[in-house]
Chains A and B, each alone.
Chain A
């Protein structure tokens, strides 16, 4: 409670000095950034005390201190801190790729593909159908022609199936879980991330043909789509090779190098118009599998260490982006969508597990790790909002509502799955959380 009191005092101090502030280049952003770290850290610790994942605490801090509640962090600051999100996603993807071993991909690649195909296919079909059925009740869509409703449903379905690599990686980093449930969940999330790019692009293409006057560009050609995927593999492999060479011949200042490698990867991906997550994922995978043991672990440790504050702010910013008023307006529509989505994921994973011959805890529990949604879904919804001026805004509002609920409920469910699978570490089970970096550091000592 002491920390909460200090936080309140700091908030009061910030308000106190506000009239004395000069208009500086980004000093308000810096102030907001610092406060957000402390706030998220505090609420995250409170959450951990209540056996709730820290990520939920970070998100809650973002919502509480964000523009739509207490306003300690302004909308402008949230926008200005957008680069943190880009960096966080890059780090998350790199770390996720580094979790994959070549032998594991060879052994489990087909299984994961089967699980993902069924899970995504079923969820997409069910959600698209449900949204089409509910379209008369969706604010801003109302009584449009059926083609418009179908385009809306397709676009919504293709985004609603998205999982959250960031929450999955964040939870695995927080809990240190690495058992079958954890690895299956991570595998499906990573494979789905690639498939979703294809699905979304296809849905956007169909939507453009259904409502040609509505579309304002932003879709992808087949060649563009192929480049987005294959280019990401090429760029990622080159980046991973470069990182591996650095580790072999220089191998110093890994803390800053880890941040730079992630940032560089994200920037190159953006400039080359290739998929960012896939690029960094490939880079992490190549680095992990090309580099020898001590250097590899040292980089991963450095990356986890440099990522720790970035993750805290990233999740807090995700919370701050939630517009409470907009979510409240669509909550009655969102709740059935959340339930149906979770049910579809559950059914899809069970069917997929049967097809792939997976049994045990991973077949029963892995679906719970797939409920979370965060930045990727919001990003895709924003793309639709830009590309489809009429359909976009209601879709974005509905999607924000869905993400807001899923990103709160998802980590809770995932933690429950890991606990039920017996994959939580002893310290985590008692609320004594250590980051993966600390655990590795302790093990090294």
Chain B
């Protein structure tokens, strides 16, 4: 079967599955749509039905890279400085502490586990370990968005969850992007291979220089259709450049998204232009991520179970500790981290990027991520709802000082 037809059939199937069945389920039972696409991808992939062969999956690698770049840019548009400045500092402090604690704990434990189980050198084991740390730090905003839409009052917990999810994304993308720079192989045609620091500079340079140039390029553009065409060009170019250098497209395009949204006179137009195609691209990304999944030849059960449990523990414990250190414990309560357990687009994007790069233990990392997304995505909205419910009960019992004013800025779900 031809690659094009396979793509069409796969996405068409995913489409109907999502819109006929899961959309209704999402509304009725608070199930976040997403995992079903992943599952569909696995079912049609080479290791279940073989409807999509490995060559077809690798043939669409450029498209997957573009989807990763688009995801990075959409996440970057959340970092609109004037909006961010309206949120109090202790929200960020708590969010950064929670994200970094999760990253460090998951990264360290998984690295140690890989050293022990696969007899890898620490420098090698660190790569999949820290990648899982970055994936573990990320959390899904869809559940939060679904619950927020039902609320008439914007509570402090909702604000904290939105900030935490955005910071989780930032930490996850940055950690993974920098990791790939640190372990970068020497390019075959280079007279002198760049050092790790130089790779970091190149990755950030693609984002910063690209962002500045694309800002100038798009500056005078008012028409949505033209802006959209130019954005496609800009993000394709940046993603292609990063992929050609074996760097993660997520980091440079996140920078580009942030620069564009902060330098544009009309950030909402940029956000809308990127957001319009965000959903369809996400579906395709999930389907191909599912199709790209391969059962690992390594003993994967233990690392996957370890990742799931250590991530849950790190998120819950990290959030609790961060709230205490950030002076938000009385507001957020002991287990607000439960609302951040849901994983979705960004986790899949990082895992897929890792898989494309072919770094050590790609299938273990990917399987762990797929398992985490499948398990948590369906429940993420319910987890958020339970945390918000507990917050309300506490608030009813005792009024809380850190309440957000009505009409506080809303961060759109980006991952």
A residues lining the B interface (CB < 8 Å): 2-3, 6, 9-10, 13-14, 17-38, 41, 83, 86, 250, 252-253, 255-257, 260, 263-264, 266-268, 270-271, 305, 308-309, 312, 434-435, 437-438, 441
Q: Pick the interface stretch among B131-139, B239-247, B314-322, B376-384.
A: B239-247
Given contacts A267-B4, A270-B2, 12 further A-B contacts (CB under 8 A): A2-B219, A18-B189, A33-B62, A33-B236, A33-B240, A34-B236, A38-B234, A260-B12, A271-B2, A305-B225, A309-B228, A437-B225
Inter-chain contacts of B187 with A (CB < 8 A): 19-22
Closest to B199 in A: A20
Q: Pick the interface stretch among B277-285, B367-375, B385-393.
A: B277-285
Is there a chain A Cβ closer than 8 Å to B89's Cβ? no
Q: How far is the CA of A21 from the CA of B187 in the complex (A)?
A: 6
Q: Assuming A37-B236, A255-B276, is B283 touching A19 (CB within 8 A)?
A: no
Q: Are A83's CB and B4's CB within 8 A? A: yes
Complex A-B: 14 CB contacts under 8 Å: A3-B217, A10-B237, A17-B202, A17-B245, A22-B245, A30-B239, A35-B237, A38-B230, A252-B19, A255-B277, A256-B284, A260-B11, A267-B4, A438-B225
Q: Are A264's CB and B244's CB within 8 A? A: no
Q: Assuming A24-B243, A305-B228, is B15 touching A257 (CB within 8 A)?
A: yes
Q: How far is the CA of A22 from the CA of B246 in the complex (A)?
A: 6
Is there a chain A Cβ closer than 8 Å to B190's Cβ? yes
Is there a chain A Cβ closer than 8 Å to B188's Cβ? yes
Q: Are B236's CB and A267's CB within 8 A? A: no
Q: Assuming A250-B20, A264-B8, A267-B2, is B244 touching A22 (CB within 8 A)?
A: yes
Is there a chain A Cβ closer than 8 Å to B116's Cβ? no
Q: Are B233's CB and A31's CB within 8 A? A: no
Q: How far is the CA of A71 from the CA of B195 in the complex (A)?
A: 30
Is there a chain A Cβ closer than 8 Å to B166's Cβ? no
Inter-chain contacts of A2 with B (CB < 8 A): 216-217, 219
Q: Are B239's CB and A34's CB within 8 A? A: yes
Q: Are B217's CB and A26's CB within 8 A? A: no
Q: How far is the CA of A144 from the CA of B185 in the complex (A)?
A: 59
Inter-chain contacts of A86 with B (CB < 8 A): 4
Q: Assuming A34-B234, A267-B4, is B225 touching A20 (CB within 8 A)?
A: no
Q: Are A441's CB and B224's CB within 8 A? A: yes
Is there a chain A Cβ closer than 8 Å to B108's Cβ? no
Other-chain residue from A32, A253, A267 in contact with B8 (beta carbon distance below 8 A): A267
Question: Which 3 residue pairs across A and B have the least CB separation, nearest first?
Answer: A34-B237, A37-B233, A34-B236
The A-contacting residues of B in range 172-205, CB under 8 angstroms, are 185, 187-191, 194, 202
Inter-chain contacts of A270 with B (CB < 8 A): 2
Q: Are B241's CB and A17's CB within 8 A? A: yes
The A-contacting residues of B in range 341-374, CB under 8 angstroms, are 356
Q: How far is the CA of A371 from the CA of B355 in the complex (A)?
A: 50
Q: Assuming A264-B12, A438-B225, is B20 touching A30 (CB within 8 A)?
A: no
Q: How far is the CA of A13 from the CA of B356 in the complex (A)?
A: 24
The A-contacting residues of B in range 244-273, CB under 8 angstroms, are 244-246
Question: In the complex, what's the smallest C-beta–C-beta distance from A167 to chain B, in angstroms?
Answer: 18
Q: How far is the CA of A279 from the CA of B36 in the complex (A)?
A: 33
Q: How far is the CA of A309 from the CA of B276 in the complex (A)?
A: 14
Mark interface residues in B4-19 (1 if CB within 8 Å of A CB, else 0): 1101110110011001
Q: Assuming A24-B244, A30-B239, A250-B19, is B229 touching A37 (CB within 8 A)?
A: yes
Q: Are A30's CB and B66's CB within 8 A? A: yes
Closest to B15 in A: A253
Inter-chain contacts of A26 with B (CB < 8 A): 59, 61-62, 65
Q: How far is the CA of A83 from the CA of B56 in the complex (A)?
A: 14
Other-chain residue from A37, A263, A435 in contact with B225 (beta carbon distance below 8 A): A435
Q: Assuming A26-B61, A30-B62, is B223 touching A263 (CB within 8 A)?
A: no
Question: In the complex, what's the smallest C-beta–C-beta distance from B128 to chain A, in angstroms?
Answer: 20
Question: In the complex, what's the smallest C-beta–C-beta distance from B221 to chain A, in angstroms?
Answer: 10
Q: How far is the CA of A361 from the CA of B38 in the complex (A)?
A: 57
Q: Are A31's CB and B241's CB within 8 A? A: yes
Inter-chain contacts of A255 with B (CB < 8 A): 276-277, 280
Mark interface residues in B58-81 (1 if CB within 8 Å of A CB, else 0): 110110011000000000000000
Inter-chain contacts of B241 with A (CB < 8 A): 13-14, 17, 31
Q: How far is the CA of A18 from the CA of B191 in the complex (A)?
A: 12
Which of A6, A13, A26, A266 has most B Cβ within 10 Å?
A: A26
Inter-chain contacts of A37 with B (CB < 8 A): 229-230, 232-233, 236-237
Q: How far is the CA of A23 from the CA of B358 in the complex (A)?
A: 13
Is there a chain A Cβ closer than 8 Å to B235's Cβ? yes
Q: How far is the CA of A81 from the CA of B79 in the complex (A)?
A: 34
Question: In the complex, what's the smallest C-beta–C-beta distance from B357 to chain A, in angstroms?
Answer: 9
Inter-chain contacts of B245 with A (CB < 8 A): 17, 20-22
Inter-chain contacts of A36 with B (CB < 8 A): 233
Closest to B237 in A: A34
Inter-chain contacts of A19 with B (CB < 8 A): 187, 189-191
Other-chain residue from A23, A266, A312 in contact with B4 (beta carbon distance below 8 A): A266
Q: How far is the CA of A30 from the CA of B235 in the complex (A)?
A: 10
Other-chain residue from B7, B185, B244 in contact with A21 (beta carbon distance below 8 A): B244
Q: Assuming A26-B62, A255-B276, is B237 touching A31 (CB within 8 A)?
A: yes
Closest to A14 in B: B241
Inter-chain contacts of B32 with A (CB < 8 A): none
Q: How far is the CA of A438 from the CA of B189 in the complex (A)?
A: 46
Is there a chain A Cβ closer than 8 Å to B238's Cβ? yes
Q: Are B188's CB and A23's CB within 8 A? A: yes
Q: Are A17's CB and B244's CB within 8 A? A: yes
Q: Assuming A27-B65, A309-B228, is B217 touching A264 (CB within 8 A)?
A: no
Closest to A439 in B: B225
Inter-chain contacts of A17 with B (CB < 8 A): 202, 241, 244-245
Q: How far is the CA of A3 from the CA of B234 in the complex (A)?
A: 12
Q: How far is the CA of A271 from the CA of B7 in the complex (A)?
A: 15
Question: In the complex, what's the smallest C-beta–C-beta distance from B323 to chain A, in angstroms?
Answer: 39
Is there a chain A Cβ closer than 8 Å to B84's Cβ? no
Question: In the complex, what's the smallest C-beta–C-beta distance from B44 to chain A, in angstroms?
Answer: 15
Inter-chain contacts of A33 with B (CB < 8 A): 62, 236, 240
Inter-chain contacts of A30 with B (CB < 8 A): 62, 65-66, 236, 239-240, 243-244
Q: Are A309's CB and B229's CB within 8 A? A: yes
Q: Assuming A30-B66, A267-B2, is B243 touching A6 (CB within 8 A)?
A: no
Inter-chain contacts of B59 with A (CB < 8 A): 26
Q: How far is the CA of A257 from the CA of B279 in the complex (A)?
A: 12
Inter-chain contacts of B7 with A (CB < 8 A): 263
Is there a chain A Cβ closer than 8 Å to B209's Cβ? yes
Is there a chain A Cβ closer than 8 Å to B213's Cβ? yes
Q: Assuming A38-B234, A260-B12, is B224 touching A438 (CB within 8 A)?
A: yes
Q: Assuming A19-B191, A27-B243, A253-B19, is B11 touching A38 (CB within 8 A)?
A: no
Q: Are A25's CB and B62's CB within 8 A? A: yes
Q: Are A22's CB and B188's CB within 8 A? A: yes
Q: Are A263's CB and B8's CB within 8 A? A: yes
Q: Are A34's CB and B238's CB within 8 A? A: yes
Inter-chain contacts of A14 with B (CB < 8 A): 241
Inter-chain contacts of B213 with A (CB < 8 A): 6, 9-10
Question: In the complex, what's the smallest C-beta–C-beta distance from B245 to chain A, in angstroms?
Answer: 6
Other-chain residue from B58, B202, B239 in contact with A20 (beta carbon distance below 8 A): B202
Q: How far is the CA of A28 from the CA of B246 in the complex (A)?
A: 12
Which of B12, B188, B235 has most A Cβ within 10 Å?
A: B12
Closest to B20 in A: A250
Q: Are B244's CB and A38's CB within 8 A? A: no
Q: How far is the CA of A4 from the CA of B219 in the complex (A)?
A: 14
Q: Are A271's CB and B5's CB within 8 A? A: yes
Q: How far is the CA of A250 from the CA of B216 in the complex (A)?
A: 40
Q: Are B2's CB and A308's CB within 8 A? A: no
Q: How far is the CA of A102 from the CA of B228 in the complex (A)?
A: 34
Closest to A23 in B: B188
